[in-house]
Chains A and B, each alone.
Chain A
Amino acid sequence: MSEREVLELLRENARYSTADIARMTDLEEDEVAAVIDDLEAAGVVRGYQAVVDWDELETERVRAEVELNVRLDRETGYDDIAERLARFPEVKALRLVSGDYDFDMEVEGDSIREVSQFISEQVAPVPEITQTVTHYVMTSYKEHGIEFGDGEDDDRLSFSP
């Protein structure tokens, strides 16, 4: 139970200190630290990252969602193909999905040229991959549960009864 609670808080904000999490729950600080250690050791928590709104930065960042279709054979399964693709640092996310295509892949790079090259030179030539459809991200409205944009102004009065 405490595991779920700590996990929920970390997912809300991974920068909550163990002290803050302890204050918000019935746990002591060292208990919180132990729960987090366990979650990490068990591979439940795989990492912590910032949620970035690239539109707010001067430097360009190009992202694409790529649909991949593959053909399996006796020697090659989904896991084999996934393992090969996941190794590339350009690939930020890779999921096997149901529906019209097999893999859903997120790719990031510094320019459209770089991302295009990566897909045409590194991904498309993989023998099992039969088709790629690349969607460049134009605007991101929400990532990891966090809404982008200006946010809603708090228009409440500073004092009310």
Chain B
Amino acid sequence: MPIELSDRVQTVPPSGIRRFFEIAEERDDVISLGVGEPDFATPWAARDAAIASLEAGKTSYTANRGKRELREKISDYVADRFELGYDPAEEIITTAGASEAVDLAFRALVDPGDTVAIAQPSYISYEPGVIFAGGEVLSVPTREADEFKLTAEGLDVAGAADADLLVLCYPNNPTGAIMSEAELEPIAEFAREHDLTVLSDEIYAELTYDGEHTSIATLEGMRERTIVFNGFSKAHAMTGLRLGYALGPSAAINAMNKIHQYTMLSAPTTAQHAAIEALDSCANDVVEMVDQYDRRRQFVLSRFREIGLDVFEAEGAFYCFPEVPEGWTAEEFAEDVLREQGVAVVPGDVFGAGGEGHLRVSYATGLGDLRKALNRIEAFVDEHV
């Protein structure tokens, strides 16, 4: 008698990326532009602090919400960088990656039958997270014509007025889109008018080129209805250390902490030590990485335009989102370019509504490899298009 799986788990389809892994395995010269994490190592000072904490034997649990010192530093950091004001005691929780924080929010806020509107294309974990929490997903597609920014009209057309929560991710994975304060204001107005709670995933906030990141929580009347997610994975190149955090009104953070204390207990202790140091002394490392990404971004965008694939001016994260040539689906293009040229990119459909016909191209890869990969894509397009 086989173990019977829950309906909830079975509802969620397996990841669309699986198949591509297997194709990539067949070649040994694959250059991957399919990677959603930095190619830089964690800044040395942060690694060193982690090592020192291990040497000192600091390997016990911390407070559920994370070390007080870390929460205080996060509070100062988000105030300084993003004009966000949160009390380290009640309004900040650290988690095993921002992903855990998002999951906690779904479980703390979603009742069975609640509707969660998700601006798409976006990070692939939101939809399963809502389903695991028993909620209903409402896809809100964004469009290339709007540079993949969410609009109030888009929310309205999708029927988000009746939703309970709205999930946003800007700077966006997979498109690289960002939203300015002026562009966020109508979204904030929509949320206030229709009483939506906003979950704003700002994990790529530091990776904003040409300008400053604005958090929707800073807009009028939004702090009380927004939970902000951020973490150390992207800006501080700490993906494997697993450390993120959520900022929000105390009632919501306390509820999230209730789940967290019974499941995770506390975020990885070693990572917390690394994160304290990252906030103390690694601001310059972040600036240097951002400069490198920006250079690559301009290089990749220029090359796609030369190759003849339409691509909008991605201004954040480390992705751009070119359109596949006419007559191709994103999946076909991604599969063939991987098989024939050994370049791995991710078809946009994987990221939900609005992603079809596009490819997520990550430039979290050195310029040498980017140059080679773009040459191969050019050869592929020259041959087939």
**Chain B binds chain A:** yes
Query: In the bound complex, do residue B299 and residue A24 qualify as a contact, i.e. CB atoms below 8 Å apart?
Result: yes
**Chain A contact residues, majority secondary structure:** loop
Q: How far is the CA of A161 from the CA of B121 in the complex (A)?
A: 12
Count, A-B residue pairs, CB within 8 A:
52
Task: Report how far A158 CA is from B36 CA in the complex, Å.
Answer: 9
User: With the chains together, A42 CA to B246 CA distance in Å?
Assistant: 53
Interface contact B41-A159, CB-CB below 8 Å: no
Contact of A160 among B34, B295, B296, B303 (CB under 8 A): B34
Across the two chains, which residue of chain A brings its CB closest to B39?
A: A154
Least Cβ distance of A16 to chain B in Å? 8
CB of B295 within 8 A of CB of A161, answer no
Name the distance in Å between B253's Cβ and chain A's nearest Cβ.
25
Contact of A159 among B21, B123, B299, B367 (CB under 8 A): B21
| B302 contacts across to A, CB distance below 8 A | 22-23
Asked if B20 is at the interface (CB within 8 A of a chain A CB), the reply is: yes
Flag if B299 contacts A158 (CB, 8 Å). no
CB distance from A76 to the nearest CB of B (A): 45
- Chain A interface bracket (under 10, 10 to 19, 20 to 34, 35 or more): 10 to 19
Q: Which of A24, A152, A158 contacts B32 (CB 8 A)?
A: A158
Smallest CB-CB separation from A5: which chain B residue? B295
Q: Which of A25, A154, A157, A161 touches B125 (beta carbons < 8 Å)?
A: A161
**Contact between chains at A23 and B303 (CB < 8 Å):** yes
Q: Does A38 have its Cβ within 8 Å of any Cβ on chain B?
A: no
A20 within 8 A of B: yes
Question: A20-B371, A24-B295, A152-B41 in contact; A159/B32 too (CB < 8 A)?
Answer: yes
Q: How far apart sit A20 and B125, CA to CA, in the bound complex (Å)?
A: 36
Chain A residues with CB under 8 Å of B36's CB are 160-161
Q: List residues 15-55 of chain B with CB under 8 A from any CB of chain A.
A: 15, 17, 20-21, 24, 30, 32, 34-37, 39, 41
Distance to closest chain A CB from B8 (angstroms): 20
Q: Which of B34, B298, B367 contacts A158 (CB 8 A)?
A: B34
B346 interfacial by beta-carbon distance below 8 Å: yes
A35 to B17, CA, bound (A): 45
Cβ-defined partner of B123 (8 Å) among A20, A156, A161: A161
Cross-chain contact B37 with A156 (CB below 8 angstroms): yes
Shortest CB-to-CB span from B312 to chain A, Å, is: 17
Contact with B along A1-25 (1 / 0, CB 8 A): 0000000010001000000101111
Give complex CA distance A9, B123 in Å. 33
Residues of B289-339 at the interface with A, using a CB-CB cut-off of 8 Å, are 295-296, 298-299, 302-303
How far apart are the CA atoms of A25 and B296 in the complex, in Å? 10
Contact between B39 and A161 (Cβ–Cβ < 8 Å)?
no
Question: Please, which residues of chain A bring their CB within 8 A of the CB of B299?
Answer: 20, 23-24
Contact between A156 and B21, CB atoms less than 8 A apart: no
Query: Is A159 a contact of B17 with CB atoms below 8 Å?
Result: yes
Are A160 and B35 in contact (CB-based, < 8 A)?
yes
Taking the complex as formed, is B255 at the interface, i.e. its CB lies under 8 A from any CB of chain A?
Answer: no
Known: A20-B371, A152-B41. A159 touches B35 (CB 8 A): yes
Interfacial chain A residues near B123, Cβ < 8 Å: 161
In this assembly, does B150 line the interface, its C-beta being within 8 Å of a C-beta of chain A? Answer: no
In whole angstroms, how far apart are the Cα atoms of A152 and B42 in the complex?
13
Q: A residues within 8 A CB of B371?
A: 20
Q: Which of A13, A154, A159 has the most CB of B within 10 A?
A: A159
Partner of B34, one of A13, A24, A25, A159: A159
5 additional contacts (CB under 8 A) given A156-B32, A158-B24: A23-B303, A157-B21, A158-B32, A159-B34, A161-B123
* Chain B residues engaging chain A, CB cutoff 8 angstroms: 15, 17, 20-21, 24, 30, 32, 34-37, 39, 41, 123-125, 173, 295-296, 298-299, 302-303, 344, 346, 367, 371
Q: Which residues of A contact B (CB under 8 A)?
A: 9, 13, 20, 22-26, 152, 154, 156-161
